[in-house]
Copies of this chain bind each other. A is one copy, B any other.
């Protein structure tokens, strides 16, 4: 046995909730250590001045991190949407592996950005080099990849929850997603809406219907492309998020039809086969529902499958529930999983 390489990670935008989670997870990771952390607002302070943790790691401005790009093997970009582009370009040029947790490189075409974000993508060539890092679905493309777009939290729950049906071609056209997310999903911001008294003992629907930006990633994965539009075989997603008074966790309740005359047993078999051996996918047995408790604090996705009519269990209407921790499997945990796959080390390292 030879000693194993310890890789070094830089985190850009380290003081938000995804940055915090990355720092915490890396402490446990046997093959990864922290090279540098950046923060624009808290540069000059240490990480433990900002968060209730014992690690006095200096926070440097992003500009300084560019000069130290070669000090690290991988950079995790936890920057606000829109600000990753420049950073990704700089670190990509430096030859460092980049895992971007923003939405800036998730979609498949520049046009998709025009449709969903209101502006075309500013660097289509760079966009084209990114792999969409939904680990269980795109594992082969992720291996060895230099540039990885880490998926959004809401779409990860939906895509993992419905992929076996879509892949088998038996997912009905209309997909109604009723999602509930813990408040860390809004980021570490000081908006009044996310104030304790405003959110606690409350539940708030927002951005309901067909036009939520996160639908783009559902089209990408379940339609195969954001450009499938409303064509034949394309699914139409109604996505309806609710702000839930918990810190972490997403539960997506999905109302779908299964085509092709499948029995419940056959539907379950699809999921079992697709996800067999997956260390982070937990498909629950008949009669059990996925809950936040199944996933909070873990990198797991829990999925439950319920035919709507128990008197006719082979009817076509199903409720699929999929849960993830929005900060772990929905962000920082999946980012580490992407790193593990890309670097060719144990996929579960630091994530159990």
- A residues contacting B by CB (< 8 A) are 1, 17, 27-28, 52-54, 176, 178, 180, 182-184, 188-192, 194-206, 208-211, 238, 240, 242, 244-249, 251, 253, 255, 282, 289-294, 296-297, 300, 302, 304, 306-311, 317, 319, 321, 352
Known contacts A209-B309, A293-B202; is A253 also within 8 Å of B238 by CB?
Answer: no
Q: Are B52 and A293 in contact (CB under 8 A)?
A: yes
Known contacts A52-B294, A238-B317, A253-B178; is A245 also within 8 Å of B208 by CB?
Answer: no
Chain B nearest Cβ from A103, distance in angstroms:
20
Chain B nearest Cβ from A271, distance in angstroms:
14
Chain B nearest Cβ from A336, distance in angstroms:
14
The residue from B54, B182, B211, B251 contacting A310, defined by CB atoms under 8 A apart: B211
Q: Are B291 and A202 in contact (CB under 8 A)?
A: yes
Q: Are B309 and A210 in contact (CB under 8 A)?
A: yes
Q: Are B251 and A203 in contact (CB under 8 A)?
A: yes
5 shortest interchain CB distances as A-B pairs = A209-B308, A52-B293, A178-B178, A52-B294, A196-B199
Cβ–Cβ < 8 Å partners of A208 in chain B? 289, 306, 308, 319
19 A-B pairs whose Cβ atoms sit less than 8 Å apart in the complex: A17-B197, A27-B352, A52-B294, A190-B190, A190-B191, A196-B245, A201-B293, A202-B291, A202-B293, A203-B244, A203-B251, A203-B292, A204-B289, A205-B319, A209-B306, A210-B317, A211-B311, A240-B253, A242-B253
Q: Are B1 and A211 in contact (CB under 8 A)?
A: no
Cβ–Cβ < 8 Å partners of A255 in chain B? 176, 178, 238, 240, 255
Q: Are B321 and A291 in contact (CB under 8 A)?
A: no
Chain B nearest Cβ from A262, distance in angstroms:
17
The answer for the CA separation of A17 and B293 in the assembled complex, in Å, is 13
